[in-house]
Amino acid sequence: DSGVTQTPKHLITATGQRVTLRCSPRSGDLSVYWYQQSLDQGLQFLIQYYNGEERAKGNILERFSAQQFPDLHSELNLSSLELGDSALYFCASSVAATSGRTDTQYFGPGTRLTVL
Amino acid sequence: SQQGEEDPQALSIQEGENATMNCSYKTSINNLQWYRQNSGRGLVHLILIRSNEREKHSGRLRVTLDTSKKSSSLLITASRAADTASYFCATDRKGGSEKLVFGKGTKLTVNP
């Protein structure tokens, strides 16, 4: 158990819908990262938050957004869902954002999103 | 685009044998990490090696890093059926953010 929790574990929805994925980082971790894992694209970095502020952005679509709340939990919002958004979405956390130097990232169990 | 590329894509061995997986990357890095993922599950951190380190051990795991060749290897000794999983290397780019860039992974099957 990494100490990172994600809810829900599974989500089945229809195209055009909007969903919210939730992540609670390990106690004391200030950085939260979101990754998408699909069969064709592999593991792709989406976005990072550090202590409530957006820190880095990856291949995140404009239909997707995220935020980190004062209690450090984070939510990833996916809207106008398409079939191709079906994937595993992982959240990871690390102790701190030391500029230019990555700490170990601890991954949650993931949310499996299926868009029908 | 993927920063790390693992080789081979798939590896099948017998229990007790050693398994070696390789990872190549493209840019200068701060560190390189190896993760394991059981089918459809979360990623488990195995080991982190910094760019100024050449070799690191953790239990049955041995990781080497050659920054001149931009490559790393993960050796699992005396493999067990429970080691069956996909193994990913992940790098962070020197001067970049803390995000990790993952390779596509090596799928290891250890046959009992």
How high is the pLDDT of residue A99?
54
Distance from CA of B54 to the nearest CA of A (A): 17
Q: What percent of chain B has pLDDT over 70?
A: 93
pLDDT digits (tens, 9 = 90+) for B36-71: 999 878 899 999 999 999 999 999 999 999 999 999
Better-predicted residue by pLDDT, B44 or B92: B44
How high is the pLDDT of residue B96?
66
Of B30, B35, B40, Cβ closest to residue A101: B30
Q: Which residues of B touch A101 (CB under 8 A)?
A: 30-31, 92, 98
CA of B100: which chain A residue's CA is closest?
A: A45
Distance from CA of A103 to the nearest CA of B (A): 8
> Cβ–Cβ of A109/B42 closer than 8 Å?
yes
Of A88, A104, A112, Cβ closest to residue B33: A104
Q: Which residues of B touch A44 (CB under 8 A)?
A: 102
What string of H, E and C letters represents the secondary structure of chain A? CCCCEEECCEEEECCCCCEEEEEECCCCCCEEEEEEEECCCEEEEEEEEECCEEEEECCCCCCEEEEECCCCCEEEEECCCCHHHCEEEEEEEECCCECCECCCCEECCCEEEEEC
